Amino acid sequence: MSLKVHTLHEGSYSVDASKKFVPFDPAIHQAKDRPASLFINVQPFLVELNGRLILLDTGLGYSDEDGNLFLHENIRKAGFNPEDVEMVLMSHLHFDHSGGMVHDVNGEMKLSFPNATYVIQRGEWEEAFSSTSSSYHTDIFEYLQRNAQLKFIEGSGKLTEEISYEFTGAHCPNHQVFLITDGDDKVFFGGDVLPEPEELIRKFIAKYDFDGRKAMELREEFGKRAVDENWKCLFYHSKSKSQAFIEREDDRFKIV
Following DSSP, what letter does each residue of 118-133 receive, concatenated?
Answer: EEEEHHHHHHHHH---
- The residue among 250, 251, 199, 246 whose CA lies nearest residue 226 is 246
Give the pLDDT of residue 177.
98
Across the range 59-67, mean pLDDT stands at 92
Instruction: Name the more confident of 186 and 206.
Output: 186
Q: Over the stretch 137-147, which tens digit does the pLDDT of each residue have?
A: 999 999 999 99
Confidence of residue 128 (pLDDT cuts 50, 70, 90): very high
- Rounded Cα gap, residues 116 and 147, in angstroms: 11
Position 68 pLDDT exceeds 90: yes
Amino acid letter, 39: F
Taking only the tens place, the pLDDT of each residue in 143-198 is 999 999 999 999 999 999 999 999 999 999 999 999 999 999 999 999 999 999 99
Across the chain, mean pLDDT equals 94
Q: Tell me whether strands 3-7 and 243-249 are parallel, antiparallel or unpaired.
A: unpaired
Q: Rg of the chain's alpha carbons, rounded to an integer?
A: 17
pLDDT in tens, 92-102: 999 999 999 99
Residue 208's pLDDT is what? 87
Among 5-19, 80-94, 140-154, 235-249, whose mean pLDDT is lowest? Answer: 5-19
Can you give the pLDDT at residue 14?
Answer: 81
pLDDT at 1 over 60: no
